[in-house]
Amino acid sequence: MPEKLTLIEKYREHLPVTDKTPIVSLGEGGTPLVPAEHLPALLGVPKMRLFFKLEGLNPTGSFKDRGMTLAISKATEAGSRAVICASTGNTSASAAAFAGKAGLKCYVILPAGKVALGKVAQAILYGAKIVQVNGNFDQALQLVREVAEEYAITIVNSINPYRLEGQKTAAIEIVEKLGRAPDFVFIPVGNAGNISAYWRGFKLCQDSGMCQHRPRMFGFEAEGAAAIVKGAPISNPETIATAIRIGNPASWQEAVKAAHESNGQIDSVSDKEILYAYQLVAHQEGIFCEPSSAAAIAGLIKKVKAGLIPEQAFVTCVLTGNGLKDPDTAIKVGEKEIATIEPTLTKLKEAIEL
């Protein structure tokens, strides 16, 4: 059986690598594009062709692995001995895993108390040196920039140019799977790197003749962290969707350009809308994504309600991270409904209302 190619090998011609680049891989990419069965009818657009790109099935459970395989491979090629990132959680999990595999030291700086449980667990077990700051992500990233100016440590946040180059491969995969580009892409926006990366990927597909048209890009910030929508940085961003709890997005300009060039939009959704979409996609489609990922679905619901989605449109929602990373939020929304009973048949029948 032929060995499965790594992401870098598969898309080598589109990536800044040479034959000498050592490839650090954990089997990232090639994630499923799953059609929705029930949501289109439920939302009142039964003929919409809706697909979920399940990025939570990457090796560390988020799309960050696509960029990290390239960032860590290039850091290794350049002779770097250590990497550092500020993180709302998933970047730290991914950086720690790939750095560990490459034998690099990894420092992760987290906003204290604002990182989902599973992500901290990952960073610990993959062996990163973890520091929490009493501040938000934006302050953590500023510190990381300052440290990296003084010491020979490679930053692996999405300001590292290789991150977005790796992440653009997800757009290519979507075009390969559909045999065309979607008409609309819905995607959460935090630091705004991923929407920028997808746009690069779709432009590349069109330029290389893989598809005839490009999708309209619709990105969604959380209402309490909607700097781009409001047009100014937010000093105290707040949202239940911790992966997009960012008040001053690093890829602000490129994301605005992606929305503009594609005739799309950067908009926001409330925590209430996010939690509704989070539960809906789990109940109806069997998909457990992170609250941040559900912002993409909340955004789709918002635009369907606004009458923006034509009947037979091809739509892709990018579900950026795995729901298992944030068990606290899942339990909080459903805990009340769990009955605890004495171990008798009568009690069980009562409890399940038979």
Ligand X SMILES: *Cc1c(COP(=O)(O)O)cnc(C)c1O
Which residues would be at the binding site for ligand X (CB under 6 A)?
Answer: 62, 64, 90, 158, 188-194, 243-244, 290, 292-293, 320-321
Radius of gyration of the chain measured on its C-alpha atoms: 20
Is 74 or 168 the residue whose CB approaches ligand X more closely?
Answer: 168
Question: Among residues 281 and 313, whose Cβ is nearest to ligand X?
Answer: 281
- Which residue number, 45 or 301, has a Cβ lying nearer to ligand X? 301
Cα angle 226, 228, 229; round to 5: 65
Q: What is the nearest approach in angstroms of ligand X to the Cβ of residue 62?
A: 4
Are 126 and 68 contacting, i.e. CB atoms less than 8 angstroms apart?
no
Angle CA 63–278–93, to nearest 5: 30
Query: CB 106 → ligand X: shortest distance, Å?
Result: 17
Three-class secondary structure of residue 110 per DSSP? strand
Phi-psi region of 315 (alpha: psi -120 to 50; beta: other; left: phi over 0): beta
d(CA 137, CA 114): 9
- Minimum CB separation from ligand X for residue 310, in Å? 27
* Residue of 153, 84, 162 whose CA lies nearest to 123: 84
CB of 162 to ligand X, least distance (A): 14
281: number of CA atoms within 13 Å, CB side?
34
The Cβ of residue 210 has, within 10 Å, a number of other Cβ atoms equal to: 15
C-alpha 49/C-alpha 339 separation (Å) is: 38
Q: How far is the CB of 221 from ligand X (least distance, A)?
A: 9
Both tokens of 247, joined, read 């008040």
**Residue 41 Cβ vs ligand X, minimum distance, rounded to whole Å:** 27
- Give the span between the Cα atoms of 71 and 263, in whole angstroms: 30
Evaluate whether 219 touches 266 at the Cβ level (below 8 Å): yes
Looking at the Cβ atoms of 118 and 188, the one nearer to ligand X is 188
In 10 A of CB 11, how many CB atoms?
22
Give the nearer residue to ligand X in terms of CB position, either 80 or 92. Answer: 92
As measured in angstroms, the least distance from the Cβ of 145 to ligand X is 16
261 touches 248 (CB < 8 A): no
Minimum CB–partner distance for residue 324 and ligand X (Å): 12
Q: Which is nearer to ligand X, 45 or 300 (CB)?
A: 300
Cβ proximity to ligand X, 111 vs 193, nearer residue = 193
Q: Between residues 40 and 239, which has the closer beta carbon with respect to ligand X?
A: 239
Residue whose C-beta lies closest to ligand X: 321
DSSP label at residue 190 = S
